[in-house]
Amino acid sequence: MSLPAHPTIHFAHPAYRFAERLAPRQSGLGFFQTWTLDDTRARIGEADVLVLSGFWRNDLLAQASRLRFIQGCAAGYDQFDRAALAARGIRLANASGVNANAVSEHAIALLLALTRQLHTGRDHQRSAHWRGMISEIGRREEELPGKTMLLVGLGRIGSRIAMLAKAFGMTVIAIRREVSAPTADVDEVHPRNALPMLLARADVVVLACPLNDDTRRIIDGQALAAMKPTAYLINVARGGCVVEAALIEALRSGRIAGAGIDVTDPEPPDPASPLWTLENVVLTSHTGGETRRYEENVIDLLLDNLERLASGAAIKNAIL
Cβ atoms of 9 and 34 within 8 Å: the answer is no
DSSP letters along 138-183, please?
GGS----TT-EEEEE--SHHHHHHHHHHHHTT-EEEEE-S--SS--
Cα 305 to Cα 18, 99, 296, 311, distances in angstroms: 16, 17, 14, 10
The candidate with the shortest Cα–Cα distance to 85, out of 71, 100, 104, is 71
| HEC sequence for 215-238 | CCCCECHHHHHHCCCCCEEEECCC
3-state class (DSSP) for residue 30:
strand
Cβ atoms of 147 and 203 within 8 Å: the answer is yes
Cis peptide before 266 (omega within 30 of 0): yes
Cα 105 to Cα 129, 153, 183, 194, distances in angstroms: 29, 15, 19, 27
CB neighbours of residue 239 within 10 Å: 18
The candidate with the shortest Cα–Cα distance to 279, out of 113, 106, 109, is 113
Residues labelled catalytic = 238, 267, 286
d(CA 101, CA 274): 30
Q: Which residues pair with 71 in a beta bridge?
A: 51, 93
CA 35 to chain centre: 22
Indicate the residue type of 68: R
